[in-house]
Amino acid sequence: MVFCLENEEPRLPLRSAMVHFQASEVQQLLHNKFVVILGDSIQRAVYKDLVLLLQRDSLLTAAQLKAKGELSFEQDQLMAGGQLGELHNGTQYREVRQFCSGSGHHLVRFYFLTRVYSEYLEGVLEELTYGPAPDLVIINSCLWDLSRYGRCSMESYRENLERVFVRMDQVLPDSCLLVWNMAMPLGERVTGGFLLPELQPLAGSLRRDVVEGNFYSATLAGDHCFDVLDLHFHFRHAVQHRHRDGVHWDQHAHRHLSHLLLTHVADAWGVELPKRDYPSGQPFPPHEFFNYNSTEDFSMSSHLGCGPGVNFVPGPLPSPVPGPIPHGQHRGPVVHRGMPRCAPSSPYHVPRMGGPCRQRLRHSDRLIHTNKLDRQPPAHSGTWPG
């Protein structure tokens, strides 16, 4: 699914289905790239799985997923906060982590956020302004915003979303790809550490508030020509991989998330993904990953234009792909695009944008038309965008 701006040509769907990446392929895709991940404990797990996948083909352990603020994780380094300060569940908690590969060709940094926009985020943006320019920014903040900042939290969240996207647009270079990760579905019972005991009465409405917050964040991200990955949609049938706290997810879910995210990034950068034959005949995880008998209801609020039982779908669906849909699979929204995805006739063609969006250059438009991922990581020869 895509966002279409007024007077804009229709977008093409993703050129590639989700791919199960090997560590060597992730190393190639992110060769000479600076990746910045911002968000809560879910995004910290996104960071951890990416750091691990940059080194070897294995999954996170339960202990690694649960750990918070440790001095080192899989050759990374705690730069600030965490155990260098005080471990707590307050809104002033900080944690900055960084991984630099032994080759020096991969740099990944994580900033823990308890609010999507704040003075602290301005400090982060200042670091990104005067330090190396990021090639990829992955961001989400929602649960803390909607549960820890008073009764008018949704209104404040909408205002802060607009602020953060305006500031990102000002600070990030045009060549940087920003992906907004929509919040994942909550369980009916929420006991995550971010939700203090005195705030437990909010748990019942929080899962519906997250759907509403996702609607606003996806819409505003699209207005600013940023990409959106709908994790709420992708994991709505994977509830057996959600932890008992109703918030966090297991290592299988996070590896699936990494594959979705990397497929998105590869498509945005014009990288041709490897094609493999899977036992099931489809480039999807085993059917056991999903539970299509899930009875969870994520209905929208009536004031958003949807009645009871109508699931969140923010925007027009793309034209259906020809061919039958395998039994048990549903072709739904994958990403929301901030600019046309049709392959340009020239590597240097910049599509004209209507509305308030400025012309955003992707790596594929700026440097190279089509890259191919080989089985072995390339030597450092300047072949890959740096």
**DSSP H/E element including 168:** helix 153-171
CA distance 6 to 353: 9
For 96, 279, 293, the CA distances from 261, given in Å and listed in that order, are 21, 23, 26
How many whole angstroms separate alpha carbon 312 and alpha carbon 32?
Answer: 37
How far is 339 from 362, CA to CA, in rounded Å? 10
Domain boundaries of the chain, sorted by first residue: 23-272
The residues, any chain, with a CB within 8 Å of residue 57's CB and separated by 6 or more, are: 22, 23
Kindly compute the dihedral angle of the four CA atoms of residues 111, 113, 116, 118, in this order, to the nearest 10 degrees: -90
The amino acid at 187: G
Nearest to 185 by CA among 213, 226, 149: 213
Cα–Cα distances in angstroms (integers) from residue 255 to residues 53, 60, 187, 250, 261, in the given order: 9, 8, 20, 9, 10
Strands in the chain per DSSP E: 33-39, 77-81, 95-100, 106-112, 136-139, 177-181, 227-229, 271-272, 335-336, 371-372
Round to whole Å and give the CA distance between 171 and 351.
22
Cα within 13 Å of Cα(261), Cβ side: 27
DSSP-derived pairing of the beta strands 335-336 and 227-229: antiparallel
The model's pTM: 0.75
Nearest to 243 by CA among 198, 287, 184: 184
Please give the pLDDT value at position 18: 75
326 token code pair: 């395998």
List the 33-39 sheet strands across, edge first.
Answer: 77-81, 95-100, 106-112, 33-39, 136-139, 177-181, 227-229, 335-336
Distance between CA atoms of residues 121 and 308, nearest Å: 37
- The DSSP call for residue 280 is T
Encoded tokens for 9: 């040509």
pLDDT of the residue at 19: 82
Q: Which fold does the domain 23-272 belong to in CATH? A: Rossmann fold (3.40.50)
Instruction: Measure Cα distances from 66 to 38, 107, 110 in Å.
Output: 18, 23, 16
* Whole-number Å distance between alpha carbons of 295 and 236: 10
pLDDT tens string, the chain, 386 residues long: the values are 334 444 444 434 344 467 899 999 999 999 999 999 999 999 999 999 999 999 999 999 999 999 999 999 999 999 999 999 999 999 999 999 999 999 899 999 999 999 999 999 999 999 999 989 999 999 999 999 998 898 889 999 999 999 999 999 999 999 999 999 999 999 888 876 666 666 666 667 888 999 999 999 999 999 999 999 999 999 999 989 999 888 999 999 999 999 999 999 999 999 988 776 554 433 344 445 566 555 565 554 444 444 333 343 333 333 333 334 333 333 333 343 444 333 333 332 333 333 334 334 333 333 323 355 654 433 333 333 33
Could you tell me the CA-to-CA distances from 343 to 14, 116, 263, 363 in Å, in that order?
Answer: 11, 33, 16, 13
Sequential DSSP letters for 171-194: HS-TT-EEEEEPPPPPPSS---TT
pLDDT score of 370 = 38
Query: Helix, strand, or coil here: 371?
Result: strand
Closest CA to 220 of 186, 180, 260, 185: 180
Length of the chain: 386
User: What pLDDT does residue 277 have?
Assistant: 53
The closest of 385, 368, 383, 361 to 176, measured between CA atoms, is: 361
Tokens of 220: 């505003």
Integer-rounded Cα Rg, in Å, for the chain is: 20
